[in-house]
Amino acid sequence: MKKQILSIISLILVLTITICGYNKQMDTENLFSSENINLSSNTDTSNKAATKTINLTKEITKNKVDGKNADKNFINTQANFAVNLFKQSVNANKNQNILISPLSAEIVLSMAFNGAEGETKKEFEKLMGGLTTEQINKYLYSYINSLDDSKIKLNIENSIWIRNGLQVKEDFLKINKNYYNADIFSTNFNADTVDDINNWASDKTNGIIKDLLSYNDIDKSTAMCLVNALLFDADWQEIYSHSDAIQTFTNINGEEKTVQTLKALSSFYYDDGKATGFNKNYTGENFSFVTLLPNKDININDYINGLTGKELLKTLNNPTNVFTNTQMPEFSYDCSCDMAKTLSNLGLPSAFNSAKANFEKISSNLYINKFIHKTKISVNEVGTKAAAASAATMNKSAALPKEYEVIIDRPFVYMIIDNETNLPIFIGTVMDV
């Protein structure tokens, strides 16, 4: 079943959520309030250190947690999420090459999910197919660990980047450390921070993603980044051979292009009545590449819009075991899209609404502003390398103050109080002036 699930998702992703706010810069010793977590004991709070990124990972103790193995409920919800995210992405970028990674997207969304409350939390639960934060954490914890394969390169890494002075809830950090093994960094979100995050993403993806963020993506209002890096690099179990004949590929606009094609023999054939396809294993046989080619009388966009998670699982779970001659273009491309509208349409409207978003379990007044998704893939006769980068900016909303007024035009009480206890040192009344 692992193979079927991985066929649904894209191959690799670096995914980022950036949380922005209008907080003034503060020293690292004030990073967390007394009711939250305090990581200041071993931190250099000099002005010089405050401009640098400091690794605070060891300041949060990682506790052992229990996972939950993938079952029918998890698999079905994953398939639905994958197909729905894919459909929305395609519709938002008509007739363009699209590559997304629902798995990595869900990891970052789940990290943010742990900070959601109220209506926003309910929307996350609906998006996750009814799974609670506790359930999705346990499922993903076990699922991620189950993907380990010595025959291929598969890296899944997470990190949390926090602006000096932002007050972050203790439970939010601990949950993401325990279930997602997130590294934690304190930073000033300046130009050096961009380099630090980009270098982190590049390192985790073997240099495939070099510019996750631009210098315009963060500024003095940026408060936090949640980052996921997922790298997939694998060789075919049996390498392709190049086709000797010159082949043509007719694109979405009906234009014919001359292409270099790859040919091989597959033992798995798919036919869902609207499309046919094949399966090709990567070395180790724990992961595979699947194609589905719509019939000539069916438009690709119509086919995609007609997909459901249930139907896709049915197709992938029921291949015909027969030798199949296959041929496909050798390809390499990158793409970029903004997923803010996509995720909002999928059921997270309040998360992108400054007046309605509720991420109080992270910090106050946060909402998602942008969700930029960048990907790159290369498929050739040897194997597949793919990478993606997403940056979702979250702003700290400036809540509109209520209009109050106090017009002292009649007798009143007054006090002089101790601010530590709020006890009045003097209290009096003015009856006449």
Region 42-48 average pLDDT: 44
Residue 430 lies in a domain: no
Lowest mean pLDDT among 26-30, 173-177, 179-183: 26-30
Of 92, 119, 99, 342, residue with least CA distance to 232: 99
On whether residue 301 sits in a domain, the answer given is yes
In a domain, 370, yes or no: yes
DSSP H helices, 161-308, are 170-180, 191-204, 300-305
Mean of the per-residue pLDDT values of the chain = 77
* Top mean-pLDDT range of 169-173, 232-236, 336-340: 169-173
Place of tokens 């799974």: 131
State whether 8 and 44 are in the same domain.
Answer: yes
Same domain as 82, residue 36:
yes
Band (246; pLDDT cuts 50, 70, 90): low
> Lowest-confidence range among 22-26, 81-85, 388-392?
22-26
Ramachandran bin of 194, using left for φ above 0, alpha for ψ from -120 to 50, beta for the remaining angles: alpha
The verdict on 325 and 349 lying in the same domain is no
Question: Which has more pLDDT, 11 or 319?
Answer: 319
86, pLDDT greater than 60: yes
What 3-state class would DSSP assign to 142?
Answer: helix
Q: Is there a contact between 55 and 149 (Cβ–Cβ < 8 Å)?
A: no
Statement to judge: residues 190 and 308 lie in one domain: no
68 with 212, same domain?
Answer: yes
Here the CATH number for the domain that contains residue 346 is: 3.30.497.10
Q: What is the pLDDT of residue 347?
A: 93
Question: Cα separation of 78 and 83, whole Å?
Answer: 9
Tell me: do 70 and 170 sit in the same domain: yes
The number of beta carbons lying within 10 Å of the beta carbon of residue 40 is 17
Q: How confident is the model at residue 116 (pLDDT cuts 50, 70, 90)?
A: very high
pTM of the model: 0.82
In this structure, of 91-95, 100-104, 387-391, the range with the lowest mean pLDDT score is 387-391
Looking at the structure, do residues 121 and 201 belong to the same domain, yes or no?
yes
217 lies in the same domain as 251? no
Give alpha helix (H) positions in 229-358.
300-305, 309-317, 340-346
**Claim to verify: residue 311 and residue 341 sit in the same structural domain:** no
Same domain, 193 and 246: no
Inside any domain, residue 412 = no
Domain identity same for 189 and 273: no
Residue-wise pLDDT tens digits, 268-326: 888 999 888 888 888 888 888 888 888 888 888 999 999 889 999 998 888 888 888 88
Residue 388, pLDDT > 70, answer: no
pLDDT at 262: 84
pLDDT band at 374 (very low <50, low <70, confident <90, very high): low
Across the range 7-20, mean pLDDT stands at 43
Q: Which one of 22-36, 196-210, 387-401, 410-424 scores highest in mean pLDDT?
A: 196-210
Lowest-pLDDT range of 58-67, 333-342, 343-352: 333-342
CATH number at residue 254: 2.30.39.10
The answer to whether residues 264 and 322 belong to one domain is yes
Query: Residue 327 sits in which domain range?
Result: 241-331
Section 87-112 average pLDDT: 85
**What is the arithmetic mean of pLDDT over 315-344?**
83
**What pLDDT score was predicted for residue 184?**
93
Q: Which residues pair with 376 in a beta bridge?
A: 334, 387
For residue 67, name the pLDDT band (cuts at 50, 70, 90).
very high
Q: Which of 11, 120, 18, 8 is nearest to 372 (CA)?
A: 18
Instruction: Quote the number of domains for the chain.
Output: 2
Instruction: List the beta bridge partners of residue 338.
Output: 372
- Is 261 part of a structural domain of the chain? yes
Q: Please check whether residue 66 lies inside any domain of the structure.
A: yes
Between strands 383-396 and 13-20, the pairing is parallel
Helix (H) or strand (E) holding 233: strand 222-235
Q: What are phi and psi of 408, to 5 degrees?
A: -80, 100
Q: According to the model, what pLDDT value does residue 42 have?
A: 40
pLDDT the model gives residue 395: 65
Residue 187 lies in a domain: yes
Give the per-residue pLDDT at 427. Answer: 35
> Is there a domain that residue 402 lies in?
no
Of 331, 354, 376, at which residue does a domain stop?
Answer: 331
